[in-house]
């Protein structure tokens, strides 16, 4: 009895195999980029919200400081303090009277 001879075929790389491999790699890269960019976008949005909150706080602090400056620059207030210390006003200019 003759033994069956095993015939090995050489595998030829076919264009269909390359196309399938390229397609699978493309899908993996697309999904990775999509999830990566969504994550990065969420991070940027949270940083943007934090910066907006800080900006609002700083604007409030600036408005408060401007109001304080206007209050402190009020001529009537300055004149009242000067009169308590013995300083009188002469034609809108503050002068010190000798004691």
pLDDT single digits (tens) 36-48: 999 999 999 999 9
Q: Are 95 and 85 in contact, with CB atoms under 8 Å apart?
A: no
Task: Count other Cβ atoms within 10 Å, centred on residue 21.
Answer: 10
Q: pTM of this prediction?
A: 0.53
Give the whole-angstrom CA distance, residue 88 versus residue 97. 7
pLDDT of residue 42: 97
Q: What is the pLDDT of residues 23-67, one digit of tens each?
A: 999 999 999 999 999 999 999 999 999 999 999 999 999 999 999
Q: How far apart are CA 34 and CA 36, in angstroms?
A: 5
Backbone phi and psi for residue 4, each to the nearest 5 degrees, phi listed first: -75, 135
Residues 71-95: tens digit of each pLDDT: 888 778 877 887 888 877 666 565 5
């Amino acid at each position: 009895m003759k033994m069956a001879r095993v015939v090995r075929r050489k595998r030829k790389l076919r264009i269909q195999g390359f196309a399938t491999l390229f397609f699978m790699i493309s899908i993996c890269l697309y999904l990775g980029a999509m999830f990566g960019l969504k994550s990065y976008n969420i991070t940027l949005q949270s940083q943007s919200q934090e910066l907006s909150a800080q900006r609002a706080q700083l604007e409030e602090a600036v408005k408060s400081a401007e109001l304080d400056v206007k209050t402190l620059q009020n001529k009537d207030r300055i004149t009242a303090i000067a009169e308590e210390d013995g300083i009188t006003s002469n034609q809108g200019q503050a002068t010190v009277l000798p004691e």
